[in-house]
Chains A and B, each alone.
Chain A
Amino acid sequence: MKSVVTTVVTAADAAGRMPSASDLESVQGSIQRASARLEAAEKLSAGFDAVVKEAGDACFSKYPYLKQAGEAGDNQGKVDKCYRDIGHYMRLINYCLVVGGTGPLDEWGIAGAREVYRTLNIPTAPYVAAFAQARDRGCSPRDMSPQALAEYNSLLSYVIESLS
């Protein structure tokens, strides 16, 4: 799993040397940003269900055609799966906030997602609408501190980019 610490250790191991002073410096650097990330992760997990519901609602209100017969959300089971997937991405964002890198999203969310959606004939635009809503909705200091919100929004943008 890619994070600052594992990157440093991999590089040191490839060279066969002990962790050097500059390795320790870069770990220290990531630690300094960590408290904002952990704050965002904590707040996201506390309001998780509400965030997922709001994001999912946004995608069906922007694209009501999805619920028409023959579309991707034409029965309740499919609609539930859409909310589930949004929750899935939100959970991975929570992991990324903790890890301090995009490793969990890359490995468990984005890799292969495009192919899966194409095979299942699921449009990705509604997901973009859902995450854009989540990104617009976050408000500092009501929800979290500005630094934490910036970390959270940048990961939402990362997901949006990958689905666009």
Chain B
Amino acid sequence: MLDAFSRAAVSADAKNACIGAGEIASLKQYIAKANTRLDAVNAITSNANCIVSDAVAGMICENTGLIQAGGNCYPNRRMAACLRDGEIILRYIAYALLAGDASVLDDRCLNGLKETYIALGVPLTSQARAVAIMKASSLAHINETNTETQMAESNQMLQQRYNKMATVKGDCSMVSAEAASYFDRVISALS
């Protein structure tokens, strides 16, 4: 497993060269943006349950066949497996975002994931859709553009779940673009 720093060491070693001023400049950017990055990881981990359950619920709303008899989220046991997988994927994305490098996501999560899902008969398009919703909702939490659901007025449970991270406002375009790239990596690994 690598992080942004050890990635620089590995690629410099392949060229048999020192890590020079150019690479160090980009690592300094990682350091300058470290607090933003940690806030972004915190935004994902603090809302993980909400992100995962909303994504799975959204996936099912768009394709209700999943929870009818014979669907892949029927019965509860398979629905639970789906929620668990969503959380595992989100967890590895959080690790990758913390490390600033995709290797942990690739090695420990995506390697063989598609083959496993095919063998188990899990529909890849539904899974990819759930990851896409997780991406949208995670980015909303990172950028703090998340809003209360439209149903929240009449639903006590949804009101309680609404959580806006109260961090210092700043430019987090770089970190959110990086987070988006990890979600896209999962989606492309599944399709």
Point out residues on A near B: beta carbons under 8 Å: 1, 3, 5-6, 8-10, 12-13, 16-21, 23-24, 27-28, 31, 34-35, 38, 41-42, 44-46, 48, 91, 94-95, 98-100, 103-104, 108
Contacts and interface: CB of A to CB of B under 8 A. Distances in A.
A98 B27 contact: yes
Would you call the interface of chain B mostly helix, strand, loop, or mixed?
A: helix
A83 B45 CA distance: 49
Contact of A45 (B1, B19, B27, B98): B19
A95 B12 contact: yes
Given A13-B95, A35-B31, A46 B21 contact: yes
A48 B18 contact: yes
A94 B17 CA distance: 10
Given A13-B108, A31-B31, A18 B94 contact: yes
Interface residues of B, number: 37
Contact of A8 (B9, B34, B98): B98
Nearest to B100: A5
B19 A41 contact: yes
A17 B92 CA distance: 10
A12 B89 CA distance: 14
A104 B24 contact: no
Interface string B139-163: 0000000000000000000000000
B28 A1 contact: no
Nearest to A4: B3
B21 to A, nearest CB: 6
Which of A9, A10, A28, A35: most chain B Cβ within 10 A? A9
B3 A95 contact: no
A104 B31 CA distance: 20
B38 A18 contact: no
A115 B24 CA distance: 34
15 contacts: A1-B1, A6-B99, A8-B98, A9-B95, A18-B91, A18-B94, A27-B34, A28-B38, A91-B12, A91-B16, A94-B12, A95-B12, A99-B5, A103-B6, A103-B9
Contacts of A103: 6, 9
Given A1-B3, A48-B18, 4 more contacts: A5-B98, A24-B41, A38-B27, A45-B20
Contacts of B1: 1, 6, 9-10
Contact of B9 (A20, A45, A98): A98
Nearest to B92: A13
A94 B34 contact: no
Nearest to B38: A24
Contact of A94 (B16, B19, B38, B45): B19
A27 B24 contact: no
Contact of B6 (A1, A8, A41, A48): A1
A41 B24 contact: yes
A25 to B, nearest CB: 9
